[in-house]
Amino acid sequence: MKPEILLELKRQSVINSVISVAIPKDYEKIFEGLKFSNQEKKMAFAVLKIELTARPFYARWAEFLVAFFSYCKSLLAVGELSNYTVGHFQIGIKTSLNWTNSKITPKNYLKRLMLLNTKEGGAKIFKLALQIFLKSFKKKREDLVKEFAEFYNGKGEFRDKTLTYRELLHILLFNADFYLKDVYKELHKNFRKSVNEFDDLINLRLKKIEEVVVEKNKLCAAVILCSSSKRKMIHSKVYGNTKNTFPVIHTRRIVASTLKIALYSAFLEKFPIQTDFEIYDSPMSILWMDNKIEPRNADNKFRGRVSLEYAFANSINIPAIQLIQRLGVENFILYLRKSGIQVPLPNTPLLALGPVKLTGAELLATLSPVLTSGHLSWARGEDSNIDLNIPVNNGERIISTNTADKIKHLLGATARVGTGKFLNRDNSEVLGGKTGTSENNCDFWFVGPVNNDVYGLVWIGNYDETPVRTSDGIEASSSRFAVPLWSDLLRFFADKL
């Protein structure tokens, strides 16, 4: 077996061992007594899981004895007091004195040593440390875990360089979501019980769309939902008139701007800039196959200087083409290959606009690194008849945790200020996603996370790949068709939590 595969297996083993650690039951009562907020509680549980895995109770007692012996030695020799980390939260003794503006005297040092080795005392000091950190924190959310890890006690590596403390903390907080693990188990259970209700919801939205399209007998929709924790599809189905074909599930369709998730991921991985970086949305021309092409935006407008966040959220084409030119088309193709996309890809900057056909499983693979701290994660099919062509590098890290956090922020911007603003009407905490409308209005997509465990996509189009034409004079688009369908889906899952 290859060394990199062995390393990944070891890495997953470490993650699973940390996730499965049981937190002492009395901590919940302690946190309630100390009035921990949900954010403080979740951070505390994450730190506890890491520390309880790395340092079992006998190691903590050994650290206490070493610290106490050092204290006694310093009294006899009038030496300097050392900053040992002790207790369930592994907080430094001198560090905690500094946090509370206490003098570092032998008397205070001994008091704090004893306090940190009690559950209530350690939790109280941890809460104080977190409050100090949050009050002084001025950077963006994606830097929160990194800065806290260094502020607290986690610059080093965890278990033989398998993981950094920071990466493990991030996985616990945002991906494994151990604190809600039982809730998601119940969610999946409830979803399977309510699948008929879910189907009725999708069919109802499809009928509403059929009322405004010309060839309603051709219209169909596909829904694919996956679980991050199970790495498995939990639902995949085509609704409406399929004519015995199963678009997106079994056959490929043009993915359009949904491919920008992969483009921005590849670009921000190579150029570690912030999402407020500005780029020009202005007329341009490119040469392809001896033809001069002048790309346009969907609304035929140019906006001048725009941020990456605004360009992504509003699915503006010109900035995407500029990004692929800076990145290099070949580099983007390599990134897609690493994502498991093996279909022929055009070597042109127009690739940024997604003029390629993919299955739903292939498209979701380009989203998966964003939701799994940068690791490729192809979901296994719920139906053994579905050929997912899972790549051999499944599980490989292809973007950094920092890049994944930035793309999550961009996905959220789609709902806040972009083409998915409809989603923000009922729920300002929606995680967002990415719309995609193919050329000539043949395919309408929305791809994104439902919650911290479930993610997926919805697609609408004619089964025979003809354009979807409307009868009311309002142009068809993903914002008009796919986003409301996704909104229905979100409300369904919200009711099940």
Grade residue 495 by pLDDT with cuts at 50, 70 and 90. Answer: low
In angstroms, how far is the first alpha carbon of the chain from the final one? 41
260 within 8 A of 365, measured Cβ to Cβ: no
Selected residue with higher pLDDT from 6 and 131: 131
d(CA 190, CA 343): 37
Encoding tokens for residue 10? Answer: 């070891």
CA dihedral 168, 169, 175, 178 (to 10 degrees): 100
349 within 8 A of 322, measured Cβ to Cβ: no
Query: Which of 234, 224, 239 lies closest to 193 in space, CA to CA?
Result: 234
State the pLDDT at residue 386: 47
Residue 496 has pLDDT above 80, yes or no: no
Grade residue 260 by pLDDT with cuts at 50, 70 and 90. Answer: very high
Encoding tokens for residue 377? Answer: 């994660």
- Stated pTM of the model: 0.67
Q: Output helix, strand, coil percentages for the chain, rounded to the nearest 5.
A: 50, 15, 35
Residue 226 has pLDDT above 70, yes or no: yes
Residue 385 has pLDDT above 60, yes or no: no
Burial class (CB in 10 A: 0-12, 13-18, 19+), 477: middle
Q: Reduce the secondary structure of 316-375 to three states and give it as a string.
A: CHHHHHHHHHHHCHHHHHHHHHHCCCCCCCCCCHHHHHCCCEECHHHHHHHHHHHHCCCE
State the pLDDT at residue 323: 96
Domains detected in the chain: 3-176 (no CATH), 183-496 (3.40.710.10)
Query: Which of 237, 235, 240 lies closest to 208 in space, CA to CA?
Result: 240
For the chain, count helices (H), then strands (E): 18, 15
Selected residue with higher pLDDT from 280 and 166: 280
For residue 336, what are the CA distances in angstroms to 263, 324, 358? 9, 13, 12
Residue at 299: amino acid letter: D
| Average of per-residue pLDDT across 263-284 | 94
Grade residue 179 by pLDDT with cuts at 50, 70 and 90. Answer: very low
d(CA 253, CA 181): 34
State the pLDDT at residue 156: 61
